[in-house]
């Protein structure tokens, strides 16, 4: 039996997910919530195999919920089901600990069921569009060595960024201006073929 909990503030979509789960003989709906704040204490007491969460929730975001629960619920797998398809949100969710990412529109009941089974069996289900964005962000040019393209200063900026420092803190540590840090980042994005700092950090770790 695959146990599932839902965190989704859209009542209509939440009800749809509940109906899909209840329609499968090997699925069991543990609980359903409309906010992360309501979900966290209950989920900690009654962990499910899978938690399906939206990103945009009233109050705490879905990514914050995942961060708070991931270490305390190591056996639980988290799947995002969201309307957001931008790179920054996608990589924020994956970096926070989501193992799957499904777009709400369009998604069918059968796709939700397959994604749950896939996740339970060790897969990382993603909508085709999301999977393509992830692949594109990590593909390297066939000829150029991206790591060698980065200057020593740019590597320093990326290293500090990966440690969680803000632009202002990076500028202070390197003894440069805030604008200089931004210029370095612009160059880094172009050289690594990425669009934001999360993509840049993830790609830098693979170089």
Report the pLDDT value the prediction gives residue 140, as an integer from 0 to 100: 55
Domains and CATH numbers, the chain: 2-137 (3.40.50.2300), 146-206 (1.10.10.10)
Q: Sign of the C-alpha dihedral, residues 184, 188, 194, 200? A: negative
CA of residue 5 relative to chain centroid, distance:
18
| DSSP code, position 37 | H
In degrees and rounded to multiples of 5, residue 126 shows phi and psi of: -145, 145
CA-CA distance, 100 to 123, in Å (whole number)? 8
In the chain (207 residues long), the average pLDDT of successive 10-residue segments reads 98 97 97 97 96 95 95 95 90 93 92 97 94 79 59 90 90 90 89 86 77
Report the pLDDT value the prediction gives residue 24, as an integer from 0 to 100: 97
Long-range contact set of residues 149-154: C-beta below 8 Å, sequence gap at least 24: 149/191, 150/188, 150/191, 150/192, 151/187, 153/184, 154/184, 154/187, 154/188, 154/191
Report the pLDDT value the prediction gives residue 75, as an integer from 0 to 100: 94
* Beta-carbon count within 10 A of 197 CB: 17
CA of residue 161 relative to chain centroid, distance:
18
Q: What is the dihedral of CA 187, 190, 192, 193, to 10 degrees?
A: 160
Report the pLDDT value the prediction gives residue 46, as an integer from 0 to 100: 94
């Amino acid at each position: 039996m695959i146990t599932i909990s839902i965190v989704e503030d859209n009542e209509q979509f939440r009800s749809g997910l509940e109906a899909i789960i209840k329609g499968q003989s090997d699925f069991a709906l543990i609980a359903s919530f409309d906010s992360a704040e309501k979900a966290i204490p209950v989920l900690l007491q009654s962990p499910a195999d899978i938690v399906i969460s939206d990103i945009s929730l009233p109050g705490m975001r879905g990514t914050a919920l995942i961060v708070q629960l991931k270490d305390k619920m190591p056996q639980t797998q988290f799947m995002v089901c969201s309307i957001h398809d931008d790179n920054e949100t996608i990589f924020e969710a994956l970096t926070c600990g989501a193992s799957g990412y499904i777009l709400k529109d369009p998604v069918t009941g059968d796709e939700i069921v397959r994604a749950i089974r896939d996740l339970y069996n060790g897969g990382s289900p993603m909508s085709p569009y999301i999977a393509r964005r992830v692949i594109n962000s990590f593909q390297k040019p066939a000829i150029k060595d991206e790591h060698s393209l980065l200057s020593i200063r740019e590597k320093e900026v990326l290293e500090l960024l990966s440690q969680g420092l803000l632009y202002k803190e990076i500028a202070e540590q390197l003894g440069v201006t805030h604008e200089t840090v931004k210029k370095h980042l612009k160059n880094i994005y172009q050289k690594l073929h990425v669009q934001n700092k999360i993509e840049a950090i993830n790609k830098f770790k693979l170089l």
